[in-house]
Amino acid sequence: MQEQTKILHSIPVDELTGAISTPIYQTSTFVQEAPGIHKGYDYARSNNPTRKVLEDLIAVLENGSNGYAFSSGLAAIDAVVKLLKSGDEIIAVDDIYGGAFRLFTHIYEKFGIKVNYVDTTDVNNVALAITANTKLIWIESPTNPTLKISDIATIAKIAKANSCWLCVDNTFASPAAQKPIDLGADIVVHSGTKYLAGHSDLIAGLVITKTAELGEKIKFIQNASGAILAPFDSWLTIRGIETLGLRIKQQSESAQRIAEFLNSQEIVNKVYYPGLPSHPNHAIAKQQLKYFGGVISFDLKIDDKDFATHIVSNTKYFKLAESLGGVKSLICLPCEMTHKSIPAITRYNTGVTDSLIRLSVGLENVEDLIEDLTTTIRSLSLKYSFTA
């Protein structure tokens, strides 16, 4: 069975009514026949049938054993960190998602969990950073916003050899493009807010484990800490996943064309897109990604925040907003938006210059999106009177 068929048909038909769309069980509790005798559901923090369908679906999608749905991507990340105890150490990718950095540094360091940030695109940096206390290796691939790619299979081997877990934040790739568990990862997390739900209409997070044993631990944390996904948002995420494969395919095709277009523009300095042969990690990207995804970043030859601001403020179809992965295209200026809290010097070291612009390519026709960028770049050159 091919993947799209498998996804659609692992969403069960409702046993009670035959409903082909998963019913939304909007309930807090379940009536029991006798104390402790029930149909597998007792209280909706512990378990909810709508959420269960999503959790089983995401496990299928990531080729994992168990899946769990949380109220946000950060709540999912938080649940994974709670596998650790005081004295344990994490090795994390250096340009990690800002919210994960904030959680690790400002919440978990005070509980005695140490995080060592390294450039994981060079696997030797990971091997060198391992200590006797390392329990978890944390990578994102591609990263945000410069789309760096780390070699998941090799890092998984390093993790295994040193008895620690590898967790991959697979938000940017999505399971339609990349399956970290197949490459050896122990845990996968998602901000379901982005590609999985795919319509910019909710906040959600997911954790998938390779083994049932690790799954039981996450389940315990999910119930004990309580940051579960609500039934309606679970339903919306299921509905989003039904079209994930089609969306990622189209968004990646459009993004490839837009990346090539930007590459040919006089005012553009550098285009960050794993599908371009000029991308420093293009070779490994080709190996581990089925699609290169819908996010592109680029900066300008003249590294000027006003020029970049002009572009992000004047596109018609690319709407100025944080987030990514939805059906409508978005544009943002990371130095002023998603990465504002990071000190300028650190930002520059990871390529987030004042003129770096991030695009999330949606499902509009690609010709319209290219025309939108062409018109905006032309208006910039007219305003500042130079030739674009």
Ligand X SMILES: *Cc1c(COP(=O)(O)O)cnc(C)c1O
- Enumerate the active-site residues: 45, 97, 169, 194
DSSP state at residue 281: T
Q: How far is the CB of 73 from ligand X (least distance, A)?
A: 2
Residues of this chain that bind ligand X (CB under 6 A) = 72-74, 97, 99, 140, 144, 169, 171-172, 191, 193-194, 203, 205
DSSP string computed for 18-57: --SSPP----SB---SBTTBSSS-SBTTT--HHHHHHHHH
Closest CA to 359 of 120, 65, 146: 146
**Rounded to an integer, what distance in angstroms lies between the CA atom of residue 326 and that of residue 135?**
34
In the complex, the smallest distance separating the C-beta of residue 77 from ligand X, rounded to whole angstroms, is 6
Burial of 265 (0-12, 13-18, 19+ CB in 10 A): middle
Nearer residue to ligand X within complex by CB, 291 or 307? 291
Pairing of strands 295-300, 357-360: antiparallel
Q: Which amino acid is at 352?
A: V
Between residues 78 and 372, which has the closer beta carbon with respect to ligand X?
78
Handedness of CA 57, 58, 63, 67 (dihedral sign): negative
Closest distance between ligand X and the C-beta of residue 144, in Å? 5
Q: Which is nearer to ligand X, 171 or 254 (CB)?
A: 171
Residue 296 CB, shortest distance to ligand X, in Å, is: 15
Q: How far is the CB of 385 from ligand X (least distance, A)?
A: 38
Residues 6+ apart with CB under 8 A from 259: 271, 273, 275, 276, 296
Residue 227: burial class (beta carbons within 10 Å; 0-12, 13-18, 19+):
middle
User: Cα 205–152–348 angle (5° rounding)?
Assistant: 75
Q: How far apart are CA 249 and CA 65, in angstroms?
A: 26
Q: Which residue is nearest to ligand X (CB)?
A: 73
Q: Which is nearer to ligand X, 127 or 203 (CB)?
A: 203
Nearest to ligand X of 106, 385 (CB atom): 106
